[in-house]
Amino acid sequence: MSKTLELTQQLIARRSLTPMDDGCLDILGARLAPLEFSLERMRCSEVDNLWARRGDSAPVICFAGHTDVVPTGPVNRWDSDPFTPTVRDGMLYGRGASDMKGSLAAFITAIEKFVAEFPQHRGSIALLLTSDEEGVAVDGTVRVVEALQERDERLDYCIVGEPTSVSKTGDTIKNGRRGSLSGTLIVKGVQGHIAYPHLVKNPIHMAAPAIADLAATVWDEGNEYFPPTSWQISNIRGGTGATNVVPGTVEILFNFRHSTASTPDSLKARVHAILDKHGLDYELAWEMSGKPYLTPRGDLVEAVSDAIRTVQGIEAELSTSGGTSDGRFIADICPQVLEVGPLNATIHKINECVAVADLDALSEIYYLTLRKLLA
C-alpha cells in the first residue's frame, strides 16, 4: 500500500463533517512534526485551523486545503459506508476521497519525500489547513490569513488542493476564480385592490423594464483568462398570496460572477445608474462573498505545468471556471495562487471516489513542484 493511499484512508475514516475536524489535523500534524515544522493551532469558534511552517526565509511555498467534508446524503445509497475507506476496482471510495483528503495526503507524502532528499532546501514550506471550507468559511482560512497579515507574514506561492481535473488528474489548473457579488433589491410601489389600478403602483410592473435592461447589459468582455461577467437573478418574491391584491414591494435577489475586467465598485455604479434611469423607488443592499483573483503565467504555473507534463504526459489547461474557493482569501497575502487536484467528477456525490493511482501521481506532481521552486 502506498503511503499516500494509507494516509488518505486514515483521513476518510474521520467523520469530519463541516465544521468539525474530528482529529484530522492531529494526524497531519503528527507527520509534520518530525520534519521540523513549527505547528500553530488556531481555533476560532467551532473551527480548527493549522498553520505549519518549515524554514524562515523566502521564497515561501504554501499548500492549502480543508479537512471538513459535506454531509453524506442517504447512507443506504452508498455501496459502502462513506466513512469506511474502501478500495474496489482500483478506486478508493469514501466521503472526502477527492474533496479533498486525497490532496491533503498527497501534500504530506510529497513534502516528506522532498525534505528527505533536500533537508537543507532553500526557502520555506508551509501548510494552511482548515475545517471550515465547506461551510460558511468565516472562521477558517480567512482567520489564518488575517493572523498572518497582522504579523506581516507573506507567501510567494500557494497550491490549493481542490479537485480541479476533468478527465485525467492534472489536466486542469485553476489559476484564478471569478468574484461573487450579490444584491438584494427591493422595489417599492403602492399596495391596493387589483380592480382599482389607478389607486396602485405595481412594483413588479415597474421593475420589469429595469430587469430587462440589466439582463441585456454587456458588463465586460472578459479577458485572456476570464469569461465575460454575468448577471443573473436567483429569486423574485412579491405579493400577499391573494390574487386580487397588488403588492406594495417586490424583492429581487441577483448575483454577479465577475472577472477581473470589472471591479465591484464599477458594477455597483452601473446597476444604480440603470435603476435610477427607470425612475424606481428602491433599496439595494450589496454583499461581496468573493473577490476575483488571477495568477498569470509565471514561476508557479510553469513549475506545476512541468510537473504534470513529467508525471502524466499531458499539457495542463489553465481555467478560471467554477465557483469560489479559499484561494480568494489567500490571494490577499500571496501573488501566485493555483488550485491543482484530482478529478472532480464525484465530489459531493454518493459514492465519492478517487483512483488509487491518481493519489501517487498527485503526490509526485506536488513533489516535483517543490523541487522546481525550492531545490
Active site positions, annotated: 68, 133
Helices then strands (H, E): number in the chain?
A: 9, 19
Q: How many CB atoms lie within 10 A of CB 146?
A: 14
Distance between CA atoms of 321 and 214, rounded to whole angstroms? 23
| Side-chain half-sphere CA neighbours of 244 within 13 A | 3
- 8 Å CB contact between 356 and 92: yes
Torsion of CA 303, 130, 102, 107, to 10 degrees: 40
294 is written with which cell numbers?
488571477
- 8 Å CB contact between 161 and 312: no
Helix (H, G, I), strand (E, B) or coil at 11: helix
**Phi, psi at 359, each rounded to 5°:** -65, -45
Binning the chain into helix, strand and coil, the percentages to the nearest 5 are 35, 30, 40
Cis peptide before 19 (omega within 30 of 0): yes
Residues ≥6 apart with Cβ < 8 Å to 80: 86, 88, 93, 94
